[in-house]
Homo-oligomer: A and B are copies of this chain.
Amino acid sequence: MENASPPQDLVADVFARDCTSRAAFEDVTAKWASLVLLALGEGSFRFNALRRKVEGVSEKMLSQTLQALERDGMLTREVVTAIPPRVEYELTELGAQVSGKLQGLAELLEASAGQVGLARERYAQRA
């Protein structure tokens, strides 16, 4: 029985290629996923409203992103029986925690946008 423990009992490490935490970290920081998680931090969204909020995302990419995040347990997809029927996406408790961490990162970068712009100018002049 010595080696029978499931992988989740090992110490998780985002640097380890085969760790679930690494996969989850990559999923939530994927190109559109982080913006979707940030948006849903403001409340539940219908597909088209979410697409307008996350400027530039295609229908296909948004759909794939939502599926990956649902698979990881970050959000739920609920079909509301109305006329016409609609689909709503909402964060789970874990998704809300992840969204909160990303919110902190987004706020830092929004506050540092001028600094990043200056760094880019200096880099361009040097090259």
Q: Which residues of A contact B (CB under 8 A)?
A: 6-9, 11-17, 19-21, 23-26, 28-31, 34-35, 38-39, 53-56, 70-73, 94, 97-98, 101-102, 104-106, 108-120, 122-123
Contacts and interface: CB of A to CB of B under 8 A. Distances in A.
B104 A8 contact: no
Given A29-B34, A120-B72, A94 B113 contact: no
DSSP class of A's interface residues: helix, strand, loop or mixed?
A: helix
- Report copies per complex: 2
Given A7-B117, A55-B16, A98 B108 contact: yes
A108 B34 CA distance: 15
Contact of A110 (B14, B31, B71): B14
